[in-house]
Chain A
């Protein structure tokens, strides 16, 4: 394969209180894939994303984005944290949250202006939330909040998108809206990496998959490696009945 490697993880080990959450992970993510990271609860899926983004410090190993450390590639990466990780009672509006996506390109001290506002409004339109731009964020439904987060990532106009459970607690309409946007991103040549819970939808939504359970189990095209063998290795029980390909 001559595909470029977007994200490379080498010998990554992360521990909380000396208990490894991720153990010696080696992982290469090719450019342009729409990839699910699957694994049971406590498998370290969110931790993997957070350590790639430098939010958590690993005890060993390294991560590169297009061959360079993340700290030099911030402008190439957008991140959608878990919806539950923020306080939605924070005094701010939908538009303002989306504007936060532009802060990275501005750097320290510089303030967002008309150009950033325009970008934010366009992103809101893309996720169908333009009508809600002035609404206080606690007044939005769970699905709408998730779309706001997605819009904030779109504003970053990155090459690689990391999303931590974007389908958690959203209604069916929002789920379809989100996956359509993710597929559009892939079409535009972006790399999209999603922590995902619903195994049933993996073959339909994604073209690439990583199995993770503290250790890295497998990474590859869904059609090649999304099978009983890997599911059993990851989840420890036989998934033959649960997932039919």
Chain B
């Protein structure tokens, strides 16, 4: 394998391994804790390195994962005292642990390639240099093997405990009552997140690993209402950004980690703007059509309440309901398009359909019973809640 392909493979597999726990962190509103973990595993990595003198040693990953768990425990302990809130507790814990790591590096690791830059931004470009040799045969970069093992482990856990993860994320009370201890699930997830972060740390560094965990899940959340699809989309976004980011970095001769994160960020921005129902533009469009539909309803109610020709003339509507010409026209057009009114000699009358619609709408507004409007929901945003 060429180094280029090896780097892309490492990046893509890392992204996939990060995206899976990321989905559950986002759904549990714990995105910040991944930031905390990614920073506070540093002392674990440094101590592990001091003991083993090997950056790719499994002990390093284990020790770092332990410091990840310690972070979570510390945050919860501080929070439990009730003296500070959760976000404050996170903000207290991880800089403390991270600074211990930085000091340890400065004291002990000056002469090796574990430096602060590498810790912050990763060393993806150098990953292919560190080979795994088994029985004298070069089987590929060490980090490729590590991250592949972690991804496989994550997938096995995900498949085995999918239903437990789902129920404990959605409804912690039910999960506990059913005997699926939310505490076990919580620490299980935190352990996987820590282990993954440690492995990804090598590739993209402490700051950018957060993007790999959170961004794909946040983007997928805007596109689907199905947990399985959300997982699949997150993995897809993560891996494609990793590969896209690699080529972007080659094109502009810049940091691979930085490029991957930039591509991820752009991907999120596009989805944030254009997602079909939860995207910014869709939401704005929906709000504007809701405004028109409320106006339509007001207009139909007005027609329903007034019989006289004068009250129902097109010109009168503009001055009486106090609408601008444009708005009055768009409401009239909408009513006409839906066959709710007829205009005869500049006088507006409700059709039978218009009458039915108005009555149903009044009943809905008065009783707030959803059953009444089930068949109207497809045509009108207003009733979609």
Contact = CB atoms under 8 A, between A and B. Distances in A.
Nearest to B371: A173
Interface stretch (B68-76, B174-182, B330-338): B174-182
Given A90-B170, A112-B163, A171-B367, A55 B179 contact: no
A223 B164 CA distance: 43
30 contacts: A17-B82, A50-B173, A53-B173, A53-B176, A53-B177, A55-B173, A55-B177, A77-B177, A87-B170, A90-B27, A90-B170, A90-B227, A91-B227, A92-B166, A92-B227, A93-B226, A103-B167, A104-B177, A104-B178, A104-B179, A107-B179, A108-B164, A109-B161, A111-B163, A138-B225, A141-B368, A141-B385, A143-B370, A171-B367, A173-B371
A180 B371 CA distance: 19
A54 B176 contact: yes
Contacts of A244: none
B225 A91 contact: yes
Contacts of B161: 108-109
A173 B371 CA distance: 10
B174 A81 contact: yes
Contact of A97 (B170, B172, B229): B170
B230 interface: yes
A242 interface: no
User: What size tier do the contact residues of chain A reach?
Assistant: 35 or more
A91 B369 contact: no
Interface string B192-232: 00000000000000000000000000000100111101100
B177 A100 contact: no
Interface of A: 17, 50, 53-55, 71, 74, 77, 79, 81, 85-87, 90-93, 97, 100, 103-104, 106-109, 111-112, 131, 136, 138-139, 141, 143-144, 152, 171, 173
Given A79-B174, A86-B170, A144-B370, A92 B160 contact: no
Given A74-B178, A112-B163, A141-B370, A91 B173 contact: no
Interface string B352-385: 0000000000000001111100100000000011
Contacts of B229: 91
Given A87-B29, A90-B169, A91-B224, 7 more contacts: A54-B176, A92-B225, A92-B227, A103-B163, A106-B163, A139-B384, A144-B370
A240 to B, nearest CB: 33
Contact of B177 (A74, A87, A90, A97): A74
Task: Please give me the 3 A-B residue pairs with the lowest Cβ-Cβ distance, nearest first.
Answer: A104-B178, A136-B225, A81-B173
B171 interface: yes
Q: Max chain B CB contacts within 10 Å: which of A106, A108, A152?
A: A108
Contacts of B176: 53-55
B180 A100 contact: no
B177 A79 contact: yes
Main secondary structure of the interface of A (DSSP, over half): mixed
Interface residues of B, number: 36
Contacts of A112: 163
B177 A86 contact: no
A91 B218 CA distance: 12
A130 to B, nearest CB: 13
Interface in B98-135: none
A85 B171 contact: yes
Contacts of A141: 368, 370, 385
Contacts of A17: 82
Nearest to A107: B179
A87 B172 CA distance: 11
Contacts of B179: 71, 74, 104, 107
Nearest to A136: B225
Contacts of A74: 177-179
Contact of B221 (A53, A91, A144): A91
A84 B226 CA distance: 21
Nearest to A172: B367
Contact of B225 (A93, A107, A108, A152): A93
Nearest to B223: A91
Interface in B140-175: 160-164, 166-167, 169-174
B368 A171 contact: yes
